[in-house]
Amino acid sequence: MPQKTALLEEHKKLNARIVEFAGWEMPVQYEGVSQEHDACRNHVGLFDVSHMGEVLVQGDKALDFLNSIVTNNVSKIKDNQAQYTVMCYESGGCVDDLIIHRFNEKEFFICVNASNTQKDFNWIKEHAPQGIRVENVSHEYTQIAIQGRHAQTILQPLTKTLLSEIRYYWFQKGEVLGTHAIIARTGYTGEDGFELYVPWEIGPKIWWALLEAGKSFGIKPCGLGARDTLRTEMKYPLYGHEIDAELNPLEAGLGWVVKLDKQDFIGKKALQNLTIKKTLVGLKSLSKAIPRQGYVVEPENLLQKSIGKLTSGTLSPSLKAGIGIAYVEKEFSKPGTKLNVVIRDQRMPHVVVEPPFYKRPY
């Protein structure tokens, strides 16, 4: 049976179309993907992301332990700072990408992908030395993301925490509607905004309060469909698409979170010895064709020579054009390179573009 977030009944009241995603019943859309996408880009969007997992790591050596299982350098972040990173297998493939929030040097709060929550928790726990406590606290939290240019204005009256002082990839412990909360400023849409980690049962109260407070700003509830088009426009990776157990962070364009000059970590040796043969690029359609996951990519002038495949693809509501993310052979990855995507046995022209596809105007 799929799991239910604390907000499922609220989504039904809003006539959301519910689908099963990563073992959860989740809203894929309410009014429509394009309308919700546009609301987030131009006004503000509200997302239920309670299906994401949360893992608490505590102990005197928690900092050193986390540094031994992730690619980024956890010792570089301060209290109340967050960090994007990847956990790797010994092979260099990805266990998951995740966000680490540092409460202090002995206590860290990790947000992991919904589909990987149990796997990630088991992986962390299995590698934890004596004295390190690892706890899956996912069912203690409702996670709500408010994203868009008016997010701070809408949220501020509901909390005493001064939101303007929370910088990008930082967070604060505070209160929302008088209930304790973790208020983070990370995001997965390319817009400004906040993630609220609040007690599970309080979720509905905060959800409706945000919708009410955002009415005059054009707020809309947004489903997984818009979340996917928004993250694709930013070329943000999604586990199971751009990264997985067979794909490594260096070829996925995540070299900026792989610190090979720090202490040993799981997968370091494999990544050090890796010869990069393919790389992840953004493709924009030069016709009305829309690229989709799994479509084959070929050079412009060499028919029937596959040089890669699409990992994600969609019609971009912001660009009004087809866009995609694809692994291609390294020699074809330069921006401006013309490539073909095979769509229903037809070779449709695309061009490699510098990500992100969309740049916010504020």
Query: Could you tell me how many residues make up the chain?
Result: 362
> pLDDT tens digits, residue range 278-288?
999 999 999 99
Q: Is 150 among the domain residues? A: yes
- Shared domain for 283 and 226, answered yes or no, is no
| Mean pLDDT, residues 78-88 | 98
- Shared domain for 284 and 340, answered yes or no, is yes
Distance, CA of 259 to CA of 266 (rounded, Å): 12
- Shared domain for 173 and 298, answered yes or no, is no
pLDDT at residue number 302: 78
Is beta strand 338-343 parallel, antiparallel or unpaired with respect to 346-353?
Answer: antiparallel
> pLDDT tens digits, residue range 211-230?
999 999 999 999 999 999 99
Rounded to 5 degrees, φ, ψ at 140 are: -90, -15
| Mean pLDDT, residues 126-150 | 98
> What is the CATH classification number for the domain harbouring 161?
3.30.1360.120
- Shared domain for 182 and 329, answered yes or no, is no
- Shared domain for 181 and 329, answered yes or no, is no
Q: Is 101 among the domain residues? A: no
- Shared domain for 283 and 229, answered yes or no, is no
pLDDT at residue number 215: 98
- Where a domain ends, among 233, 249, 267? 233
As a whole-number percent, the residues of the chain with pLDDT over 70 amount to 100
pLDDT at residue number 304: 75
Question: Per-residue pLDDT for 94 more than 80?
Answer: yes
- Shared domain for 322 and 181, answered yes or no, is no
Q: Is 86 among the domain residues? A: no
Question: Per-residue pLDDT for 162 more than 80?
Answer: yes
- Shared domain for 40 and 143, answered yes or no, is yes
Residue 7 Cα to chain centre, angstroms: 20
Q: Is 70 among the domain residues? A: no
- Shared domain for 210 and 287, answered yes or no, is no
- Shared domain for 189 and 315, answered yes or no, is no
- Shared domain for 146 and 214, answered yes or no, is yes
What confidence tier does 301 reach under pLDDT thresholds 50, 70, 90? confident
Question: Per-residue pLDDT for 70 more than 80?
Answer: yes
The parent domain of residue 192 ranges over: 3-49+139-233
Q: Is 192 among the domain residues? A: yes
- Shared domain for 214 and 325, answered yes or no, is no
Averaged pLDDT of the chain: 97
Q: Is 165 among the domain residues? A: yes
Q: Is 57 among the domain residues? A: no
- Which residues are within 8 A (CB) of 90 and not within 5 positions of it... i.e. 6 or more apart? 266, 267, 269, 270
> What is the CATH classification number for the domain harbouring 308?
2.40.30.110
pLDDT at residue number 303: 74
- Where a domain ends, among 210, 233, 256? 233
Q: Is 69 among the domain residues? A: no
Count structural domains, the chain: 2
